[in-house]
């Protein structure tokens, strides 16, 4: 897919001098995204709850890009203050924020029917996925306005699925889609989902 192939961005170092903040960056999509931005020259802030997984992610990034500027932040996206402090520190360190990626996510184990769901786990899915995305935007919007930057929220085709036992994840991802629509209308122009 040439249109989305990051090779040209990496080769041209097109993100040199730019700051990128990624939640859920200790593994999976978040970690892989951090590596690509580091290869493209960006200063990268990786954020997640697990210190040791963040250490592993940072080591992997530096192994692939020894000159990368990578900062790690232990963040619980469910906590407004936790996200705000990390974003503020990243901006202080990098001097700017050009891209913020709300990638942190949680999947509730599927139950047979909704009356069999674990209610605290169901709600935690929404706190991480929806409130975490909101907190990440709230903490970063003023900085992104300054750089005409981009806020990217990861969602899923699961927002459109009706899978028995999968209501927590599907509903939370659907809510993120709608949240991004509101963000794009009222907060600033750079909201992408």
For residue 162, give both structure tokens: 């009706």
Query: CA separation (Å) from 56 to 59, 66, 109, 156?
Result: 5, 14, 26, 26
Residue whose entry in the numeric block shows the structure tokens 């970063």:
140
For residue 50, give both structure tokens: 């697990």
Using the CB atoms, write b or e for 27-38: b if 16+ within 10 Å.
eeebbebbbbbb
For residue 58, give both structure tokens: 């940072």
* 73, 134, 143, 169: the active-site residue: 169
> What residues contact 155, with CB distance under 8 A and at least 6 apart?
173, 176, 177, 180, 193
173 is catalytic: yes
Q: How many whole angstroms separate alpha carbon 148 and alpha carbon 99?
A: 9
* 89, 150, 173, 188: the active-site residue: 173
Task: Decide if 71 contacts 46 (C-beta within 8 A).
Answer: yes
Give the torsion sign (CA, 141, 145, 149, 150).
Answer: positive
Give catalytic residues, as residue numbers: 169, 173
């Amino acid at each position: 897919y040439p249109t989305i192939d990051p090779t040209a961005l990496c080769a041209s170092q097109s993100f040199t001098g730019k700051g990128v903040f990624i939640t859920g960056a200790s593994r999976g999509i978040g970690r892989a995204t951090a590596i690509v931005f580091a290869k493209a020259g960006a200063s990268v802030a990786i954020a997640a709850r697990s210190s040791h997984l963040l250490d592993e992610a940072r080591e992997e990034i530096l192994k692939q890009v020894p000159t990368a500027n990578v900062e790690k932040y232990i963040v619980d996206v469910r906590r407004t203050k936790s996200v705000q402090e990390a974003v503020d520190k990243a901006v202080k360190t990098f001097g700017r924020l050009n891209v913020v990626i709300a990638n942190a996510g949680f999947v509730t184990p599927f139950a047979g029917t909704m009356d069999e769901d674990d209610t605290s786990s169901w709600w935690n899915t929404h706190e991480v996925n929806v409130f975490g995305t909101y907190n990440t935007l709230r903490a970063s919007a003023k900085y992104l306005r300054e750089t005409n930057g981009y806020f990217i929220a990861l969602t899923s085709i699961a927002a459109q699925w009706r899978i028995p036992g999968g209501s927590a994840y599907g509903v939370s991802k659907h809510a993120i889609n709608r949240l991004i629509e509101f963000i794009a209308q009222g907060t600033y122009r750079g909201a992408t989902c």
